[in-house]
Structure 1
């Protein structure tokens, strides 16, 4: 006779009562299994019933009732198996039946009722934008079992989303909607009440004596207190902002010697700040502790540097207030590489280690002990790189400052990354070195991971307006920044553009509706004959036809050849360039001071430059200074002049990615003779390259807020005619923040203040008599288009005599293409 014993479902087990059901083909009786004598049985077989989506073997394994296992019956083994299956969360009901039992063996049937599987989920009661954001955070996929754990995890995610947005009293209800046309399938519905978005109305500190509440509240950024004048954004409570704000407050204390500062307690609460209006209040209780000062600094184990040299690197003296952040930076790594670790690692001591011990003495003093482990000098064994699928290996290798066989140098690695980034072939944000030390052999391997996903070539297309006399301007330029002439003559080299040797080819054209045309072609070989010597060749033709205005046309043909070289002294940031140029001017007739006819000049220019800027598009650190002298040779039949120009720019990080840039430019043009003086290449200030190109007879200086071009530039007038200045200077301050930086786009908003002027001669020169402007703008870099610069500037001063008028108190929109740095 086949006997089956039915064990009640888990919901009955929770009441501590087990009911067993005995069935026979012809009889039915209920027995109390507790009256049976427990006996050990070997599981002979296990059969699973009722499973549709869950694998049979998974259910057997989850229950632990595997074939061959010994169990005690009656006992806890079968009850424990039911509990384990319920804990998996996959089943709405579980039964375990005894199919057959003998003196030593037992056969079982596991009968399950699965929870429904998900068809889809819906989020109701929220805005569409919020729903999309929540969906991006949820990890629920169709086909998953709808378990309590799945629902709880989703609800917690929704709650966290709204909490980070500053919402309070968020409610999330979940319901399951069966799909009648599909077996064991259901929809999961989340009904969301976002709650209310409350602003922070009060931030209070308790226990603070060294600094006021107002001071500490400012340090709580990004958490901010709402004030009536702060109308541009809501000052809501976010846990991440609060955590960061607390960390900033504690860091501020520790920078000022309060190393024992701690938060004793804090509370975040909702209160009625005015009638019927709720706000968020924050109270933070601090224990400041004493302000510590440095008493003694002691080094042990140092042989390469003296105690005095290492103390100077730490930048602490006896009696100084202890700044924990400064101490850590100057011991491990600061941006100037003047820290203790850099001192050692830049001369090869890769395995150097410094272990500080800070002891508190008296009530407010610190003794600092630093144990130095110098070890031996490490040698660079191998230098490799990966990811350069297009750029040739020798182009990368010649850029690196880390060379096999040399001593290890941290500065050499940092410099290599900078140089690779400024090439423009690789994504500067993703340049990463893998440093693989070998302590046993005192050597190190360095592997640079390169990312060529950003295109180095670009097509620039732009439009602008050059004033009433010029009209609309259309400009196009194709730049191949990693060209290869060698591959251009090889079979299969055009795929689609021969590239990889780091050469630069540029083709440009610009036309206007009022008769202006410009064509240019240039080529640069940055490494001539495998040496850090560059060769550049440039040709350009410019034409402006003003016959409709009764003035005639002007043409300029120019060409140049240049040789540049990287220098090692005073340091290897210096470079020099020598340029030999030829210009032919053909002016039919003019209303300006420039005489009509053909004028030739042969120029020789020498430029000295030091450039430590880390990024030509949006520098964060470094500076660039240049000094150039240009001479139009006083050869018979050629016009002459000499020109001196200097420029300086410095980039300083303020906080996070916010950068302040200051620039200063100066120029002077003079003459060696009286009868062969050139009328060309005087200075016009204002506008950008798009507006200035039609005034190619001058040397145009960019300045935002002013239109530029012929008749509307900042330049002196003689007898009612704008002549161009022989002297100019320009100053600028710019603050920018790269809001978006990824492989597809870089978006860099900025604000600026510009001031500049040009003067007829030194007798009229006044460096404080400047035309001023201020405004804002944005730079947009797209790999296919290059860098686009849009600025909107307000000018504080007008230009007397300008035609059309350039008045003070007006805004000027300017459009430009190309890197400003």
Structure 2
């Protein structure tokens, strides 16, 4: 029924291209007729008044046959009618009858089965607007566009049908699309390629052939194929000296039976050019040799000393890249107006069949260096200006440096107080008449305080609830404060902390922390521990180095331990282990140049800690605890990212950790535990505290003393490959390796337990959350037999 209605509507609408008029008498066409009155028939949606207005016919005026024809054309042109006729009664004045058939109103355009083309693109380009009368021409354009766009996306044989269904306010026009199979390319061959094999040319293209492995699908994408022909193939040839190469033609042959295709590309290689001369003109700021080394290595043989047939092929791509680097070099030195004009001059062969040569030249116009006149911060509605300015590496009065400006923007983003803005919005450089520049840095504040509450569970602490508040930007001055309360049947932990990175506007920092905790570790008889105390730490810059600080601190804690498994210990040892006061002074040297916030993608963090407890400081014990940690991150690749979006970033990371305790340490909890992600040193693939100086020992090994699980030295390392999907979502694959030993003398970095797996981390309003799923290669059962397996880890608050 609906289908027959559609056919009827479209059949009537097809008459729109052939307007006609109907007259009661033929002789009225030969003379003018006075309009006595106008009667409109057939209209339901468009009012009589509106029909008459569109016709431009007026009561009492004298009209001719061309005037009536024009009235019919105007009514068609309004787009409201599928058919129009005008009839006139005999005589003059005469009654004019306007007969119309209205086009149906399309209340909604819908697309079914369309996956690889945006419906919005089709609607906007074809002019499909909801609530307007049906326009067959626009429908036809939309169908043609769908076929074209799907073909470009690699679907050359789509089937497109339309259907009209009754809907509130008119009709619903549905484009039913069967995209068909994606075109798969079975072969790519070349004609005219005498210098390179087909395989070498295929390797330069994004479009590939269908292969045996699932990685080689042979999918054909028209836009990528166009880039292959316009950019990638010419660039490949230009790298080898064929700078006149052109694509003479291409053919895509599709087998209608299989839907598969093959590509034939015809190339005109042209001659290979060799570099005969290379020179730099106009440079004063940098030596010629230093500039030339950006393109040709400084130790390369002089060109004038080589025979013509031994001259190197001219690499156009490398020359273009080097030109860009020279421009960056001048901009980093403050020469904003410097221009580097590359010139490649072809030298005709000296004889028939001789070598084709080029002379490459950089013509440089340096100008004068630009100084920074003013730096303005905008968009900071909460954070104070001076907090942001402390992150700047480019200040008023400095010679402009593009590199330092970029680093300043990265430093601001790494604070974690602002949304990531595209470079075009974040930085505005305004040249002044005297050659200097004003710089405006724009930021966008984001919510920084987090109220955390919920529940957590682990094999160590059991089921517990938590509530807390973290604010890393108190008062808009980058001061941080936090409150945490973890409570449950096995644990009570209350912590207050405050940190000021710039005490009274200076470059000195200070932090204070107070804590009271009670933990009952029933899983492997760690007993009940109470800890009460606090710490104070002051930081200062080292030699003015950005990102490098020295911290000095003092802490005082009272430790009480009950119900600890004390098999084999003397009463004196047991008494020291049960109770004690820790009085500690510490020094930390930290250098942090990481970029990317909570999920770093570049830079490094290195820390050396030295702490001394007891002795002349009072309290129990007399020992030193020394730890070191080094983390390095290298960007690997980036995908996407545009004017208003951030790219997906890939990164590789490597971390080393180590520590030793020297002296008389009576505090069990000061020793090093390893395994899991919650207690002690991280080693995924193993349960909490199961990596011991005696190898892997499961938590349910009742005969193994808990005191022997901890050691006084450890080493751990992590290698990871991660993808930062956004500022709050990170996924990675990792390998952990580590071990603990009884003393520093027992350290053996070749004796490590290994785990590997994958993980996902997410920043939520309740704090960072993470899940890791890792395989422990060196796990053993309670009888000491190999028992490798998988382990699921939940992380809260701790990401790396």
Common topology (TM > 0.5): yes
SS in 1 for 2:390: helix
Question: Counterpart in 1 of 2:222?
Answer: 239
2:319 is the alignment partner of 1:358: no
Give the CA deviation at 1:148: 3.1
Residue 417 of structure 2 aligns to a residue in which SS?
coil
> What's the CA shift for 1:586?
1.6
How far apart are the structure 2 equivalents of 1:443 and 1:56?
69
Sort the Cα spacing of 1:399 and 1:120 in 2 relative to 1 into closer, same or farther, 3 A: same
Find the residue that maps to 1:412 and give its secondary structure: helix
Paired residues of 1:645 and 1:665 also in contact (CA < 8 A) = no
Cα deviation 1:571-596 (Å, max 9, x = unaligned)? 42323322322233222353267742
- 1:422-571 correspondence to structure 2 within 5 Å: 422-430=414-422, 432-453=425-446, 455-457=448-450, 459=452, 461=454, 463-466=456-459, 470-472=461-463, 476-484=467-475, 500-511=476-487, 513=489, 515-545=490-520, 552-567=527-542, 569=544, 571=545
Contact 2:717–2:738 under 8 Å retained in 1: yes
CA contact (8 A) 1:641 1:678 kept: no
Corresponding residue number in structure 1 for 2:5: none
Partner SS state of residue 415, structure 1: helix
**Superposition deviation, residue 418 in structure 1:** 0.9
Match of 2:792 in 1: 813
CA contact (8 A) 1:314 1:340 kept: no
Q: Please list, as runs of the form range in 1=range in 2, the aligned pairs for 1:673-684 lying within 5 A after superposition.
A: 673=663, 680-684=669-673
The CA deviation string for residues 27-51 of structure 1, in whole angstroms up to 9 with x for no partner, is x615569xx9xxxxxxxxxx99899
Partner of 2:335: 349
1:707 to 663, 687, 696: 687
Q: Deviations over 1:53-87 (max 9, x none)?
A: 89999999999x999xxxx9999x99899778866
Distance 2:171 2:526 in 1: 82
Residues 634, 217 of structure 1: alpha-carbon distance in 2 compared, 3 angstrom cutoff: farther
Summarize deviations over 1:597-647 as a string: whole Å, max 9, x none.
Answer: 322233233222332221133323222223333333532443232233332
Q: Are 1:775 and 2:757 an aligned pair?
A: yes
- Superposition deviation, residue 441 in structure 1: 2.9
What are the superposed Cα offsets for residues 476-502 of structure 1, whole Å, 9 maximum, x if unpaired? 543212222xxxxxxxxxxxxxxx222
Q: 1:372 aligns with which of 364, 367, 385?
A: 364
Tell me how far apart the structure 2 counterparts of residues 446 and 61 of structure 1 sit (CA, whole Å). Answer: 59
1:84/1:682 CA distance change after superposition, 3 Å: farther
Deviation of 1:178 after TM superposition, in Å, equals 7.6
Displacement after TM superposition at 1:200 (Å)? 3.6
Name the counterpart of 2:187: 202
Specify the alignment match of 1:155 in structure 2: 143
1:659 lines up with 2:650 in the alignment = yes
> How far is the alpha carbon of 1:395 from its aligned partner?
2.8
Q: Secondary structure at the match of 2:327?
A: helix
Structure 1 position 578 matched with structure 2 position 527 = no
Deviation at 1:677, TM superposition (A): 6.2
C-alpha distance after superposition, 1:670-692 (max 9, x if no partner): 42x5x56655523223221xx31
Cα 1:399–1:155 shift into 2, 3 Å: same
Change (3 A) 1:627 1:601: same
Q: CA deviation at 1:810?
A: 0.6
Deviations 1:700-747 (A, max 9, x none): 2222222223x45677699865243333322322112233x27xxx33
- 2:130 equivalent in structure 1: 142
Superposition deviation, residue 426 in structure 1: 0.9
**Is the alpha carbon distance of 1:243 and 1:793 closer, same or farther for their aligned partners in structure 2, counting shifts above 3 Å?**
farther
Give the 3 Å change call, closer, same or farther, for CA 552–450 of structure 1 in structure 2. closer
Q: SS at 1:704's partner residue?
A: coil
- The structure-2 alpha-carbon separation of the partners of 1:765 and 1:11, relative to structure 1 and needing over 3 Å to count, comes to closer
Aligned residues: 737
Which residue pairs with 2:10 in the alignment?
none
Q: Say if 1:136 and 1:670 are closer, same or farther in 2 by CA, change over 3 A.
A: same
Runs of at least 5 residues in structure 2 that lack an aligned partner in the other structure: 1-12, 33-37, 90-95, 301-310, 350-354, 639-647, 698-703
State the Cα distance separating 1:348 from its structure 2 match. Answer: 2.4
State the SS of the aligned residue for 2:670: coil
Aligned to 1:488: none
Q: Which residue of 2 aligns with 1:298?
A: 279
Distance 1:728 1:310, change over 3 A: same
Aligned counterpart, 2:381: 389
Distance 1:714 1:159 in 2: 68
Specify which of 261, 279, 282 is matched with residue 260 of structure 2: 279
Q: 1:752 aligns with which of 725, 731, 734?
A: 734
Change in CA separation of 1:792 and 1:187 when aligned onto 2, cut-off 3 Å: closer
Q: 1:609 aligns with which of 586, 590, 594?
A: 590
1:726 corresponds in structure 2 to 712
Alpha-carbon distance in 2 for matches of 1:153, 1:477: 59
Deviations 1:253-295 (A, max 9, x none): 54555544443332333338xxx74423333344445565544
Cα separation, partners in 2 of 1:304 and 1:85, compared to 1, 3 Å: farther
Does 2:596 correspond to 1:622? no
Q: 5+ unaligned residues in a row in structure 1: which ranges?
A: 1-9, 37-46, 100-107, 333-338, 485-499, 693-699
Q: Using a 3 Å threshold, how does the CA distance of structure 1 residues 53 and 360 change in structure 2: closer, same or farther?
A: farther
Structure 1 residues 137, 597: closer, same or farther in 2, change over 3 A? farther
8 Å Cα contact 1:165-1:236 kept in structure 2: no
1:669 counterpart (643, 646, 660): 660
> What does the per-residue CA deviation read over 1:80-100, in whole Å, with 9 as the maximum and x for residues that have no partner?
99778866756545679999x
Q: Do the aligned partners of residues 717 and 78 (structure 1) sit closer, same or farther apart at CA in structure 2, a change above 3 Å counting?
A: closer
Provide the alpha-carbon RMSD of the alignment. 4.8
TM-score by length of 1: 0.76
1:270 aligned to 2:237? no
Q: 1:730 to 1:546 in 2, by over 3 A?
A: closer
Q: What is the TM-score normalised by the length of structure 2?
A: 0.78
- 8 Å contact kept, 1:725–1:758: yes
Aligned to 1:174: 162
Deviations 1:334-372 (A, max 9, x none): xxxxx3233322332222222211223464654322222
Structure 1 residues 289 and 382, CA, compared in 2 at 3 Å: closer, same or farther? same
Q: 1:753 to 1:419 in 2, by over 3 A?
A: same
Aligned residue in 2 for 1:310: 291
2:27: which partner in 1? Answer: 29
Preserved CA contact (<8 Å) 2:158 2:179: yes
Distance 1:781 1:172, change over 3 A: same
Quick one: structure 1 residues 765 and 55, their matched pair in 2 at CA, closer, same or farther if it must change by over 3 Å?
farther
**Kindly tell me: are residues 680 and 224 of structure 1, through their superposed partners in 2, closer, same or farther at Cα, counting changes over 3 Å?**
same
**Residue 430 of structure 1 contacts residue 450 of structure 1 at CA under 8 Å; is this kept in 2?**
no
